[in-house]
């Protein structure tokens, strides 16, 4: 069985995506300026991710692995997960994504089964749980990247609530009932009251936004952008509250951040590589036209202070991005022209090239990654030689060694 092959992921054309970055990576034309939001690589049922085999055949990655999971995953990963446990993506965030949280693994399994028993179709627009898995995520910025990440520490949040006149109403609630009371109030306010609170704020900040007088580290900048993007007649999106409640994090190119179950977050702008458990469970709390279930959102949200832990962009040929979960591990290699490294997969792995050109070779095959052909998969038993034909950045998605070596 072939141990190394090119991989073709699937593009997701969500409305919030950009129109140039992913087409440029894939070397495809986009004359209709369609949004290319995400590029999925993995075995998730919603990913038509294919292996391009040497004989000209192509097969879904999940079907290829299912033909011999013990050999292609390795015994430990097969025993723990049964399939490739991670999903790798490239994202181009042009417009802000929804405020969202992801459930824990235990709770996802329970709630997925509950919706199944209720007979809610998997593709129903009001379905909350698409699978029985958790969805911890790690992202690495491929450009300057902005996101919301968890609730501000208490002192900072109080300062914000005091500084913004329209948010004064939340101060006594936060002081008496903490983060949970604050967020419950914001999520459950009647829409008329949401409009009354936010309309004066919007009237004040949009002129400043249009005059380019607001900075991207300011909550007002993103609130104004959200107001122009998501407001429907007579209904101001309550997700704007979260912009002021949450940390705004600015990642420089190469920096990373991990987001665990229950941490509320939203991507605001930029390009990234993202790895996560193989799941599509998302509970939304605003800044979206998609389904919002306030009760489910509050049930899963960690209503507590979050101190963002940015993983810095250190120098060196190999970089490991720590994530405290067994489902995935992400590494990157910054290679100069002529650099050569040798890798020995112990489970099914995905390689993703974001810059440059590299040749991957094993005993049974050879592939070249470059613009237009950016991904490959390798399996246990292969010894992969990586040769850089130009200055390159190569990402490697795998499973933590501690699990593989069980």
Interatomic CA distance for residues 387 and 371, integer angstroms: 16
For 29, residues 6+ apart whose C-beta sits below 8 A from its C-beta are: 23
Distance, in Å, from the CA atom of 65 to the CA atom of 84, rounded to the nearest integer, reads 8
Cα 186 to the chain's mean position, in Å? 25
User: Look-up: residue for tokens 């099914």?
Assistant: 348
- What SS3 state is found at 272? strand
Helix (H/G/I), strand (E/B), else coil: 348: coil
Residue whose C-alpha is closest to residue 231's, from 269, 286, 186: 286
Using CA atoms, how far apart are residues 10 and 205, in angstroms rounded to an integer? Answer: 39
Q: What would the two tokens of residue 235 be?
A: 């209904």
Q: Given 62, 238, 284, 396, which residue is catalytic?
A: 284
Q: Where are the alpha helices (DSSP H) in 246-332?
A: 294-300
Coil, strand or helix at 88: strand
Distance of CA 247 to the CA centre of its chain: 17
Locus of tokens 């690589």:
41
Q: How far apart are CA 95 and CA 295, in angstroms?
A: 26
As given in the structure block, the two tokens for residue 358 are 């590299």
Give CA torsion, residues 29, 35, 37, 39, to 10 deg: -30
Q: d(Cα 354, Cα 393) in Å, to the nearest integer?
A: 6
Are the beta carbons of 284 and 165 closer than 8 angstroms?
Answer: no
Segments in 247-399 forming alpha helices (H): 294-300
**Angle CA 137–265–374, to nearest 5:** 40
Distance CA 399, CA 317 (A): 20
Token pair listed for 47: 């990913």
Residue 125 is classified by DSSP as T
Nearest to 23 by CA among 86, 94, 87, 98: 94
Query: Is 284 among the residues known to form the active site?
Result: yes
Residues assigned a catalytic role: 284
């Amino acid at each position: 069985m072939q141990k190394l092959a090119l991989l073709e992921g699937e593009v997701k054309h969500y409305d919030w995506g950009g129109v140039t970055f992913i087409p440029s990576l894939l070397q495809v034309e986009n004359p209709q300026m369609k949004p290319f939001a995400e590029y999925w690589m993995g075995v998730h049922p919603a990913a038509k991710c294919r292996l391009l085999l040497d004989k000209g055949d192509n097969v879904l990655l999940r079907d290829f692995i299912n033909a011999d999971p013990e050999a292609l995953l390795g015994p430990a990963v097969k025993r723990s997960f049964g399939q490739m446990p991670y999903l790798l993506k490239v994202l181009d965030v042009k417009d802000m994504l929804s405020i969202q949280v992801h459930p824990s693994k235990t709770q996802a399994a329970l709630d997925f089964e509950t919706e199944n028993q209720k007979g809610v179709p998997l593709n129903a627009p009001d379905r909350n749980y698409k699978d029985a898995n958790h969805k911890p995520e790690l992202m690495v910025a491929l450009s300057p990247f902005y996101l919301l990440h968890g609730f501000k520490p208490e002192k900072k949040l109080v300062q914000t609530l005091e500084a913004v006149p329209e948010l004064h109403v939340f101060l006594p609630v936060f002081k008496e009932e903490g983060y949970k009371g604050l967020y419950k109030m914001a999520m459950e306010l009647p829409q008329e009251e949401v409009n009354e609170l936010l309309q004066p704020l919007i009237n004040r900040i949009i002129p400043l936004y249009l005059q380019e007088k607001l900075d991207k580290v300011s909550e007002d900048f993103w609130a104004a952008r959200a107001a122009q993007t998501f407001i429907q007649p007579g209904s101001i999106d309550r997700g704007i509250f979260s912009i002021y409640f949450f940390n705004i994090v600015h990642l420089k190119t190469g920096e990373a951040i991990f987001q665990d179950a229950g941490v509320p977050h939203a991507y605001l702008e930029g390009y990234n590589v993202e790895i996560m458990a193989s799941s599509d469970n998302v509970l939304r709390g605003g800044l979206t036209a998609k389904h919002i279930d306030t009760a489910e959102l509050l049930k899963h949200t960690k209503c507590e202070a979050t101190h963002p832990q940015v993983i810095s962009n250190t120098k060196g040929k190999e970089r490991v991005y720590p994530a405290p979960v067994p489902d995935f591990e992400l590494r990157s290699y910054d290679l100069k022209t002529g650099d050569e490294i040798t890798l020995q997969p112990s489970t099914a792995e995905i390689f993703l090239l974001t810059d440059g050109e590299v040749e991957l070779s094993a005993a049974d095959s050879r592939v070249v990654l470059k613009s237009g052909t950016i991904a490959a998969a390798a399996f246990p038993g292969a010894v992969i030689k990586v040769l850089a034909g130009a200055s390159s950045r190569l990402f490697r998605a795998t499973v933590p060694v501690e699990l593989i070596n069980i």
